[in-house]
Amino acid sequence: MKVPQNGNVGVKKRRSTEPPTPAKEVPTNSDCKTPQKSVTETIHLFNKLYLKTIQKEETRLKMKEKPKKAAGEDEKKRSFRLDLKVLSQMKENNETIETPNSFGNIPGVEVGHHFFSRCEMTVIGFHNHWLNGIDYVGNSKAKEFKGYRLPLTRFIVLSGQYEDDQDNYDEVVYTG
Protein backbone atom coordinates (compact mmCIF):
# COMPACT_ATOMS: atom_id res chain seq x y z
CA MET A 1 0.00 0.00 0.00
CA LYS A 2 1.34 3.41 -0.92
CA VAL A 3 1.42 6.00 1.82
CA PRO A 4 0.76 9.54 0.56
CA GLN A 5 3.45 12.13 1.26
CA ASN A 6 1.11 13.94 3.64
CA GLY A 7 1.01 10.81 5.81
CA ASN A 8 -2.76 10.32 5.66
CA VAL A 9 -3.04 6.57 5.53
CA GLY A 10 -6.22 5.31 3.92
CA VAL A 11 -7.02 8.56 2.16
CA LYS A 12 -7.59 7.83 -1.50
CA LYS A 13 -8.81 9.88 -4.41
CA ARG A 14 -12.47 9.43 -5.20
CA ARG A 15 -13.72 7.33 -8.13
CA SER A 16 -11.45 4.38 -7.54
CA THR A 17 -11.99 1.34 -9.72
CA GLU A 18 -10.20 -1.14 -7.49
CA PRO A 19 -11.80 -4.59 -7.24
CA PRO A 20 -13.59 -5.38 -3.98
CA THR A 21 -11.18 -6.56 -1.35
CA PRO A 22 -11.23 -6.65 2.42
CA ALA A 23 -9.62 -3.59 3.96
CA LYS A 24 -6.06 -4.27 5.15
CA GLU A 25 -4.31 -3.11 8.29
CA VAL A 26 -1.49 -0.63 7.82
CA PRO A 27 1.75 -1.31 9.72
CA THR A 28 2.72 1.19 12.38
CA ASN A 29 6.04 2.97 12.02
CA SER A 30 7.45 6.42 12.63
CA ASP A 31 6.63 7.64 9.10
CA CYS A 32 2.90 6.87 8.93
CA LYS A 33 -0.21 7.08 11.05
CA THR A 34 -2.01 4.04 12.36
CA PRO A 35 -5.51 3.50 10.98
CA GLN A 36 -6.91 4.28 14.45
CA LYS A 37 -5.08 7.62 14.57
CA SER A 38 -6.18 8.51 11.05
CA VAL A 39 -9.83 7.73 11.92
CA THR A 40 -9.64 9.65 15.20
CA GLU A 41 -8.05 12.70 13.57
CA THR A 42 -10.59 12.71 10.74
CA ILE A 43 -13.54 12.52 13.16
CA HIS A 44 -11.99 15.28 15.30
CA LEU A 45 -11.54 17.45 12.21
CA PHE A 46 -15.18 16.89 11.22
CA ASN A 47 -16.41 17.80 14.72
CA LYS A 48 -14.15 20.87 14.88
CA LEU A 49 -15.35 22.13 11.49
CA TYR A 50 -18.95 21.32 12.41
CA LEU A 51 -18.77 23.38 15.62
CA LYS A 52 -17.16 26.29 13.74
CA THR A 53 -19.91 26.10 11.12
CA ILE A 54 -22.58 26.17 13.84
CA GLN A 55 -20.94 29.23 15.40
CA LYS A 56 -20.76 31.00 12.02
CA GLU A 57 -24.42 30.20 11.35
CA GLU A 58 -25.49 31.54 14.75
CA THR A 59 -23.46 34.71 14.18
CA ARG A 60 -24.95 35.11 10.70
CA LEU A 61 -28.48 34.78 12.06
CA LYS A 62 -27.84 37.30 14.85
CA MET A 63 -26.36 39.83 12.39
CA LYS A 64 -29.29 39.48 10.00
CA GLU A 65 -31.84 39.52 12.81
CA LYS A 66 -31.04 43.00 14.18
CA PRO A 67 -31.74 45.09 11.04
CA LYS A 68 -34.76 43.00 10.07
CA LYS A 69 -36.37 43.33 13.50
CA ALA A 70 -35.89 47.09 13.35
CA ALA A 71 -37.53 47.18 9.91
CA GLY A 72 -40.30 44.76 10.97
CA GLU A 73 -39.27 42.07 8.43
CA ASP A 74 -39.18 38.32 8.94
CA GLU A 75 -35.95 36.95 10.31
CA LYS A 76 -33.36 35.07 8.21
CA LYS A 77 -33.97 31.34 7.91
CA ARG A 78 -31.58 28.90 9.53
CA SER A 79 -29.62 26.35 7.50
CA PHE A 80 -30.60 22.98 8.92
CA ARG A 81 -27.97 20.60 7.50
CA LEU A 82 -24.71 22.17 8.58
CA ASP A 83 -23.22 18.69 8.88
CA LEU A 84 -23.66 18.26 5.11
CA LYS A 85 -21.87 21.55 4.48
CA VAL A 86 -18.91 20.28 6.50
CA LEU A 87 -19.00 16.89 4.74
CA SER A 88 -18.92 18.62 1.33
CA GLN A 89 -16.07 20.87 2.44
CA MET A 90 -14.01 17.93 3.67
CA LYS A 91 -14.60 15.99 0.44
CA GLU A 92 -13.58 19.01 -1.65
CA ASN A 93 -10.36 19.31 0.38
CA ASN A 94 -9.71 15.54 0.16
CA GLU A 95 -9.83 15.29 3.97
CA THR A 96 -12.06 12.22 4.10
CA ILE A 97 -10.96 8.60 4.33
CA GLU A 98 -12.12 6.60 1.35
CA THR A 99 -12.71 2.85 1.45
CA PRO A 100 -13.99 2.23 -2.07
CA ASN A 101 -15.35 -1.20 -2.81
CA SER A 102 -14.15 -2.65 0.49
CA PHE A 103 -15.96 -5.27 2.51
CA GLY A 104 -15.38 -6.49 6.03
CA ASN A 105 -13.47 -4.67 8.74
CA ILE A 106 -12.55 -1.02 8.26
CA PRO A 107 -9.07 -0.35 9.67
CA GLY A 108 -9.28 2.00 12.64
CA VAL A 109 -12.95 1.30 13.41
CA GLU A 110 -13.56 -1.14 16.23
CA VAL A 111 -16.75 -3.14 16.71
CA GLY A 112 -19.06 -1.19 19.01
CA HIS A 113 -17.70 2.24 18.04
CA HIS A 114 -20.33 4.90 18.71
CA PHE A 115 -20.94 7.54 16.09
CA PHE A 116 -22.97 10.67 16.66
CA SER A 117 -24.06 11.20 13.04
CA ARG A 118 -24.05 9.47 9.68
CA CYS A 119 -21.82 12.23 8.36
CA GLU A 120 -19.22 11.18 10.94
CA MET A 121 -19.36 7.69 9.45
CA THR A 122 -19.15 9.05 5.93
CA VAL A 123 -15.98 11.10 6.51
CA ILE A 124 -14.08 7.99 7.63
CA GLY A 125 -15.39 5.80 4.81
CA PHE A 126 -17.47 3.58 7.05
CA HIS A 127 -20.79 4.41 5.41
CA ASN A 128 -20.97 6.24 2.10
CA HIS A 129 -24.55 7.46 2.33
CA TRP A 130 -25.35 10.27 4.73
CA LEU A 131 -29.08 9.59 4.45
CA ASN A 132 -29.66 5.94 3.53
CA GLY A 133 -29.25 3.28 6.19
CA ILE A 134 -28.05 0.67 3.70
CA ASP A 135 -24.81 1.18 1.81
CA TYR A 136 -24.56 -1.10 -1.20
CA VAL A 137 -22.89 -1.75 -4.52
CA GLY A 138 -25.52 -1.49 -7.25
CA ASN A 139 -25.95 -3.13 -10.63
CA SER A 140 -24.15 -0.22 -12.30
CA LYS A 141 -20.87 -1.67 -10.95
CA ALA A 142 -21.38 -5.11 -12.57
CA LYS A 143 -18.14 -4.88 -14.60
CA GLU A 144 -16.06 -4.16 -11.49
CA PHE A 145 -17.76 -6.88 -9.45
CA LYS A 146 -17.69 -9.88 -11.75
CA GLY A 147 -18.52 -13.03 -9.85
CA TYR A 148 -20.70 -11.22 -7.32
CA ARG A 149 -24.48 -11.20 -7.24
CA LEU A 150 -25.57 -7.56 -7.23
CA PRO A 151 -26.84 -5.54 -5.51
CA LEU A 152 -24.43 -6.32 -2.70
CA THR A 153 -24.83 -4.79 0.76
CA ARG A 154 -21.70 -3.24 2.28
CA PHE A 155 -23.09 -1.80 5.52
CA ILE A 156 -26.38 -1.53 7.37
CA VAL A 157 -26.69 1.30 9.88
CA LEU A 158 -29.39 1.04 12.50
CA SER A 159 -30.04 4.22 14.43
CA GLY A 160 -32.26 2.64 17.08
CA GLN A 161 -34.67 5.56 16.94
CA TYR A 162 -37.71 3.86 15.49
CA GLU A 163 -40.88 2.76 17.29
CA ASP A 164 -40.58 -0.84 16.12
CA ASP A 165 -36.91 -1.10 17.12
CA GLN A 166 -36.10 -4.23 19.12
CA ASP A 167 -32.74 -5.12 20.60
CA ASN A 168 -32.44 -8.46 18.83
CA TYR A 169 -28.99 -8.70 17.27
CA ASP A 170 -29.66 -12.06 15.60
CA GLU A 171 -32.27 -10.59 13.28
CA VAL A 172 -32.56 -7.22 11.57
CA VAL A 173 -35.88 -5.89 10.35
CA TYR A 174 -35.08 -2.76 8.39
CA THR A 175 -37.99 -0.35 8.18
CA GLY A 176 -36.21 2.55 6.51
- State the average pLDDT over residues 157-172: 66
Predicted pLDDT at 134: 83
Predicted pLDDT at 82: 93
Q: What whole-number distance in Å separates Cα of residue 76 and Cα of residue 24?
A: 48
Query: Is residue 163 pLDDT above 70, yes or no?
Result: no
**30 occurs within a structural domain:** no
Instruction: Report pLDDT digits (tens) over 35-82.
Output: 999 999 999 999 999 999 999 999 988 887 666 555 555 555 667 789
**114 occurs within a structural domain:** yes
Q: What whole-number distance in Å separates Cα of residue 71 and Cα of residue 67?
A: 6
**99 occurs within a structural domain:** yes
**93 occurs within a structural domain:** yes
Tell whether omega for the bond before 151 is within 30 degrees of 0, i.e. cis: yes
Cβ-based burial of 71 (10 A; exposed 0-12, middle 13-18, buried ≥19): exposed
Q: What whole-number distance in Å separates Cα of residue 102 and Cα of residue 125?
A: 10
42 near 36, Cβ under 8 Å? no
Predicted pLDDT at 43: 96
**11 occurs within a structural domain:** no
pTM as predicted: 0.66
34 near 40, Cβ under 8 Å? no
Average pLDDT, the chain: 75
Query: Is residue 99 pLDDT above 90, yes or no?
Result: no
How many domains does the structure of the chain reveal? 1
Residue 144 or residue 65, greater confidence? 144
Instruction: Kindly indicate the confidence band of residue 137, based on its pLDDT and cuts at 50, 70 and 90.
Output: confident
Residue 86 or residue 78, greater confidence? 86
Predicted pLDDT at 101: 65
3-class secondary structure, 153: strand
Instruction: Kindly indicate the confidence band of residue 155, based on its pLDDT and cuts at 50, 70 and 90.
Output: confident
**16 occurs within a structural domain:** no
**155 occurs within a structural domain:** yes
- Residue 112: domain span: 35-64+80-164
**138 occurs within a structural domain:** yes
Query: What are the distances in angstroms from CA 163 to CA 7, 59, 131, 157?
Result: 44, 37, 19, 16
In the Cβ-directed half-sphere of 105, how many Cα atoms lie within 13 Å? 11
CB crowding 132-148: b at 16 or more within 10 Å, else e: eeebebeeebeebbeee
